Chains A and B, each alone.
Chain A
Amino acid sequence: MKEERDVLEKTVASDYKYGFVTEIDTDVVAKGLSEETIRHISTKKNEPEWMLDWRLKAYNHWLKMEEPKWPNVHYPTINYQDIIYYAAPKKKQTINGLDEVDPELLKTFEKLGISINEQKRLTGVAVDVVMDSVSVATSFKKQLAEVGIIFCSMSEAIQNHPELVKKHLGSVVPMTDNYFAALNSAVFTDGSFCYIPKGVRCPMELSTYFRINTENSGQFERTLIVAEDESYVSYLEGCTAPRRDENQLHAAVVELVAMRKAEIKYSTVQNWYPGDDQGRGGIYNFVTKRGICSGEYSKISWSQVETGSAITWKYPSVILKGDNSIGEFYSVALTNHFQQADTGTKMIHIGKNTRSRIVSKGISAGKSQNSYRGLVRAGKNALNARNYSQCDSLLLGDKCGAHTFPYIESKNNTAVIEHEATTSKIGEDQLFYCRQRGIDTEAAVALIVTGFAKEVMNQLPMEFAVEAQKLLAISLEGSVG
């Protein structure tokens, strides 16, 4: 028992490896939020009039809203006037190729293990890199453009494809949706935009890497992916931030639109700075992610590995509107030290024969709190809707918590919904079995944790699975891997 606890304590006492700060000239807008700030951001980004109106409308709505208090997380009140809403690496002219990117920036991303150059050559993943508020580089643009795919930063999209942005922005997550979505709609600075035309299967994985660098800044990015009829795209998202004693706010919005027979696979490896072992600092990750299967036979799949952030609060959801559409959610959420996570999903069945599957694995260590909160709703017309949910929690150490709050609402007697959840610690018998075969306790714990998360890891694209495995290993330190 004692030995096991020691090993657990050692393994969970790990360090954040992405905590460095890049010394780079940054263009910063003064702290504070007002109509002035929003106008300023809009002007800086050279946005058209309709975009500014949209932002101001969102801002005025946000002013009337109250910060929600229902999640199972605790944090001091956020002072929205003490946040920098726009910070961009300087010297940014229009960049055509990676050669023109600030070498300091390239180094930063190399340090993070996502060498943009290397990725370009070796793995064939198209990357959009977002530093603080703006996108600094997007690779493979040309090759993608050949098949008609638009993959660029949101600011470029607003300039170059206003009709697409106008049509879809806010169509899945309206600006009035919730407190943080409204805030994001008012002040979002950049993000990725991706449009897959009809019948196109995206030839490579698309990826965005988010990095918060500037002190006291908040990151508000907005991602929009539109997949037209019979298209397919796999999209990856990763994020890190420097180590600081203050908390920083990250309030993003991600919208996915899948038309008839389209498929979107969205994978996230979230590794924002989680704060130190005393619970100081770290990112508040308050994100709204939602996809709509608007056409028949469409499919949206969310996979996420959540290891970072002081507080994670997000529910990637799928609205299953088209008949025969499919929604999936695979998640591993690992919390350590004083981290808090309240995460899960919503599956809203509206169309006939819609199916959804939820697999959520929570791992709590240290003094952290890890909650699953999910909603499965079968509407009146969701004939033969089918859902299966499984939520398992693993507790490492006796000071952490694991919670499950599922909501199941069925208004249709042909719908079949199943939910099951378990919570336990690593079994003595499992440990014993490993040790008997000469595997030391530490390696055994690692082995069991990896096995516990495997079902979700298998859903990640290969490039990401490796990174995610590594992350899980780092977050639990020791010889996990």
Chain B
Amino acid sequence: MDQIKLQYFGEKFNELQSSNPDAFLSRLRKEGFSNFSDKGLPTHKNEEWKYSGASVSNLFHKEYKLTEDKNQLPVMKDDIDEMRLPGFENANELVFVNGKFVVELSAIRSSSEQIVIMPLEEAENGDYKEIVKEHLGKSNLFINDGIHALNTSFIYGGVFIYVNKKQEVTNPVYLYHILDAGDNHILSQPRSLVFIDERSKLQIVESYKTIGSMDSFTNEVFEIVVNKDAILEYYKIQNDKTTASQVATTHVRQIGKSFAHTLVISLNGGTIRNNTNIIMEAAGNEAHMYGLYLLKGKSHVDNHTLVDNKMPNCFSNELYKGVIDGSATGVFSGKIFVRPDAQKTNAYQSNNNILLSDNASVNSKPQLEIYADDVKCSHGCTVGRLDEEALFYLRARGISKEHAQAMLLQAFASNIVEQIKIEPLREYAEELITERLSEVNTEE
């Protein structure tokens, strides 16, 4: 990170600090900025960034502009209509423009008894002060690299979502991130906090869209707290332009015996890094993590997961699958961490990759770090190509090579897609994937 950029971020940081003197948030930002100044952007020398550090720090050779005031609305309703996901009629739609939550463009369909959705600053000054103070920024303890600190330095304009006790929210929350890269390379840094209280349920879906011909970079931190007997379902669909890159952190803390279900589908983009962390802070938690990446061109997708078992009797299951074509790179790095007190942990982790072309590559690093003895942990990892015999079987029955290949890949991807529990969204994802896999056309 050169001086000019540090200076630019410094100026923007000072501007933000002086115009928003709120005590709690400005303290967080200050910590973040000093951390960022110390560490700079991660490089491949940082073990956690071994395979993606170079790509991400290279992107920052460009001059990304930080977002301007959220009250300027460069986005039209049409843009939103274009990126609406199926099932939106029934959803709470939250629109983020360049990383800032825009109330005016959003539509909240659930009753306020069930769910409270408001700008982060408002929550911090109002009734939800205590919750925000207690839970915002906890992910900083787990990820202390420079890029995460950069997000923390600019916490402003995020959203706060609170689900009341005993509420099964039937309207899922759809988050649309619109990035306006018409004039400048844009750096968007959304920061959100979700608190799901006891015995409630919430479904969250995130998607991204870049407008304009310049590059965009999303540096997102999404913190979710799941209380006792609550259920979280979290879906992310990454299907943006190749000029759109991101580092997206989803930090889930299960503070009471609860259930979490996360799923990330990466179809298009530049350099993408997904940090998905599940922190088991109570006994008896259950978590399921899924990921699917279908890559082509020069895409680089890095799924970096952590399951931190702090308390006993937790269960986690992780399955990430990838099909890599063109000269794309897939990276998987998963860590299961079992602390001394987390006896009777059951944790599973699996990563399967199919390479379709000569220039595709994959780097996988499934890790177990275990400090308790009464555990059952395992991981598996495979890298290979399509089964020749299965292909032959289909072709012997008169199915064209392309079709046979698409069928096999579809079967490979299907057990991830079927984990999407929002019906219209699943159908949509299936369509996207079918379309995508039928494009796959590899030479012998």
A447 located at the interface, meaning its Cβ lies under 8 Å from any Cβ of chain B in the complex: no
A422-B366 Cα distance, complex, nearest whole Å: 12
- The interface size bin for chain A is 35 or more
Stretch at the interface among B222-230, B351-359, B430-438: B351-359
**Per-position 1/0 for A362-401, Cβ under 8 A of B:** 0000000000000000101000000000000101111111
**Per-position 1/0 for B41-66, Cβ under 8 A of A:** 00000010000000000000000000
**Per-position 1/0 for A405-428, Cβ under 8 A of B:** 111111111111111111111000
A415-B357 Cα distance, complex, nearest whole Å: 12
Q: By the criterion of a CB under 8 Å from any partner CB, how many residues of chain B are at the interface?
A: 34
A201 located at the interface, meaning its Cβ lies under 8 Å from any Cβ of chain B in the complex: no
Residue contact A404 to B368, C-beta cutoff 8 Å: yes
A311 located at the interface, meaning its Cβ lies under 8 Å from any Cβ of chain B in the complex: no
Residue contact A423 to B340, C-beta cutoff 8 Å: no
A425-B372 Cα distance, complex, nearest whole Å: 9
Residue contact A403 to B367, C-beta cutoff 8 Å: yes
Closest to B379 in A: A421
What A residues does B383 contact at CB under 8 A? 378, 408, 410, 415-418
Contact for A403 among B370, B384, B385, CB less than 8 A: B370
A412-B360 Cα distance, complex, nearest whole Å: 7
User: How far, in Å, is A226 (CB) from chain B's closest CB?
Assistant: 33
Which residues of chain B (313-358) have a CB below 8 Å from chain A?
340, 343, 353, 355-358
Which residues of chain B (360-380) have a CB below 8 Å from chain A?
360-380
Residue contact A421 to B382, C-beta cutoff 8 Å: no
A38 located at the interface, meaning its Cβ lies under 8 Å from any Cβ of chain B in the complex: no
Residue contact A401 to B371, C-beta cutoff 8 Å: yes
Residue contact B372 to A419, C-beta cutoff 8 Å: no
A70 located at the interface, meaning its Cβ lies under 8 Å from any Cβ of chain B in the complex: yes
Contact for B370 among A70, A397, A401, A411, CB less than 8 A: A401
Residue contact B375 to A413, C-beta cutoff 8 Å: no
Contact for A424 among B360, B366, B376, CB less than 8 A: B376
Residue contact B375 to A424, C-beta cutoff 8 Å: yes
What A residues does B368 contact at CB under 8 A? 393, 402-404, 421, 423
A405-B335 Cα distance, complex, nearest whole Å: 9
B16 located at the interface, meaning its Cβ lies under 8 Å from any Cβ of chain A in the complex: no
Contact for B355 among A400, A402, A405, A412, CB less than 8 A: A412
What A residues does B365 contact at CB under 8 A? 405-408
What A residues does B358 contact at CB under 8 A? 380, 412-413
Residue contact A419 to B357, C-beta cutoff 8 Å: no
A419-B383 Cα distance, complex, nearest whole Å: 9
Given A403-B370, A418-B381, A423-B368, A409 and B375 contact (CB-CB distance below 8 Å): no
Residue contact B364 to A408, C-beta cutoff 8 Å: yes
What A residues does B379 contact at CB under 8 A? 404, 419-421
Residue contact B378 to A405, C-beta cutoff 8 Å: no
Residue contact A407 to B370, C-beta cutoff 8 Å: no
What B residues does A402 contact at CB under 8 A? 368, 370
What A residues does B353 contact at CB under 8 A? 410
What A residues does B366 contact at CB under 8 A? 404, 406, 419, 421
User: How far, in Å, is B440 (CB) from chain A's closest CB?
Assistant: 13
A80-B278 Cα distance, complex, nearest whole Å: 43
What A residues does B364 contact at CB under 8 A? 406-409, 419
What B residues does A400 contact at CB under 8 A? 371, 373
Contact for B380 among A409, A410, A414, A420, CB less than 8 A: A420
A407-B361 Cα distance, complex, nearest whole Å: 13
Q: Report which residue of B364, B368, B379 has the largest number of chain A beta carbons within 10 angstroms of its beta carbon.
A: B368
Residue contact B367 to A398, C-beta cutoff 8 Å: no
A423-B47 Cα distance, complex, nearest whole Å: 23
Q: Report which residue of A413, A418, A421 has the largest number of chain B beta carbons within 10 angstroms of its beta carbon.
A: A413
Residue contact B357 to A413, C-beta cutoff 8 Å: yes
**Per-position 1/0 for B382-403, Cβ under 8 A of A:** 1111000000000000000000
Residue contact B363 to A398, C-beta cutoff 8 Å: no
Residue contact A70 to B380, C-beta cutoff 8 Å: no
Residue contact B367 to A404, C-beta cutoff 8 Å: yes
A118-B90 Cα distance, complex, nearest whole Å: 85
Residue contact B340 to A403, C-beta cutoff 8 Å: no
What B residues does A399 contact at CB under 8 A? 340
A415-B355 Cα distance, complex, nearest whole Å: 9
Q: Report which residue of B355, B380, B383 has the largest number of chain A beta carbons within 10 angstroms of its beta carbon.
A: B383
Residue contact B377 to A410, C-beta cutoff 8 Å: no
Residue contact B384 to A397, C-beta cutoff 8 Å: no
Closest to B366 in A: A406
Contact for B381 among A70, A405, A406, A424, CB less than 8 A: A406
Residue contact B361 to A410, C-beta cutoff 8 Å: yes
Given A408-B364, A424-B375, A418 and B382 contact (CB-CB distance below 8 Å): yes
Contact for A409 among B357, B363, B385, CB less than 8 A: B363
Residue contact A415 to B384, C-beta cutoff 8 Å: yes
Given A413-B356, A423-B375, A393 and B370 contact (CB-CB distance below 8 Å): yes
What B residues does A415 contact at CB under 8 A? 355, 383-384
A425-B346 Cα distance, complex, nearest whole Å: 12
Residue contact B355 to A395, C-beta cutoff 8 Å: no
Residue contact B385 to A413, C-beta cutoff 8 Å: yes
Contact for A398 among B47, B360, B373, B385, CB less than 8 A: B373
Closest to A369 in B: B371
What A residues does B374 contact at CB under 8 A? 398, 425
Besides A396-B373, A418-B384, 13 more A-B contacts (Cβ < 8 Å) are A380-B358, A393-B370, A395-B372, A398-B343, A398-B372, A401-B369, A412-B358, A417-B382, A420-B378, A421-B378, A422-B377, A425-B373, A425-B374
B residues touching A (Cβ–Cβ < 8 Å)? 47, 340, 343, 353, 355-358, 360-385
